[in-house]
Chain A
Amino acid sequence: AQSVTQLGSHVSVSEGALVLLRCNYSSSVPPYLFWYVQYPNQGLQLLLKYTSAATLVKGINGFEAEFKKSETSFHLTKPSAHMSDAAEYFCAVSGLQGAQKLVFGQGTRLTINP
């Protein structure tokens, strides 16, 4: 079955350290890829999206992600973590099951240590 896998349900980094959240997808064709962030008791906010243009995508709040077809990956990075980055992050894919559906990964909770 086509799916999205986020490696690590919980990632903890120190303030100022590199943030790396991993996402892999299974698909025979490059899909459309998204990263969403969810702060406690809030909805999902789009961080960035890959739509087959540049493979390195820059998003809001200093985040970026690189699409690597050979690795079927779309990992999310931020050079320097801030306390306000603590949240749940979801990788999502469209085009795997038709336009109607976004397929979400299980999510990664990011904790920032002072």
Chain B
Amino acid sequence: DTEVTQTPKHLVMGMTNKKSLKCEQHMGHRAMYWYKQKAKKPPELMFVYSYEKLSINESVPSRFSPECPNSSLLNLHLHALQPEDSALYLCASSQDLSGNYNEQFFGPGTRLTVL
């Protein structure tokens, strides 16, 4: 299985809602990532998990809360988002963070709209 899956595919939420995005991989990868991608822009790194521990937080607002319950799962909890947070949220995984080689496998993304 060489796939990264993400659910839901689309999500519409109000600014007072709490929702979660889910990402799953069964490739035995030990590094997992969340990216935010606005239209016509490259993905922007948000968080990196290595061996289920948070390795990088790119100064992301606290209304985004990541969680890695096990080596195959990555969640992104959303609360009190703003309309400007509307974007495509991409999950990715890679074997690990050793060395400088970092081939990442991306999921299809969750299209988030904040009303």
Using CB atoms and an 8 Å cutoff, list the residues of chain A in contact with chain B: 31-32, 34, 36, 41-46, 49, 51, 90, 94-95, 98-102, 104-107, 109
Contact-residue size bin, chain B (C-beta under 8 Å from the other chain): 20 to 34
Q: Point out the residues of chain A lying under 8 angstroms from B103, CB to CB.
A: 32, 34, 46, 49, 94
Q: Point out the residues of chain A lying under 8 angstroms from B55, CB to CB.
A: 100
Q: Point out the residues of chain A lying under 8 angstroms from B45, CB to CB.
A: 101-102
Using CB atoms and an 8 Å cutoff, list the residues of chain B in contact with chain A: 4, 6, 31, 40-43, 45, 48, 50, 55-56, 88, 90, 92, 97-109, 111
The listed residue (A31, A44, A109) touching B43 by CB distance below 8 A is A44
- Verify B99–A99 contact, CB threshold 8 A: yes
When A100-B55, A100-B56, A101-B45 are in contact, do A42 and B98 touch as well, CB less than 8 Å? Answer: no
The listed residue (A41, A95, A107) touching B100 by CB distance below 8 A is A95
**Measured CA separation A10–B27 after assembly (Å):** 35
**Measured CA separation A105–B41 after assembly (Å):** 9
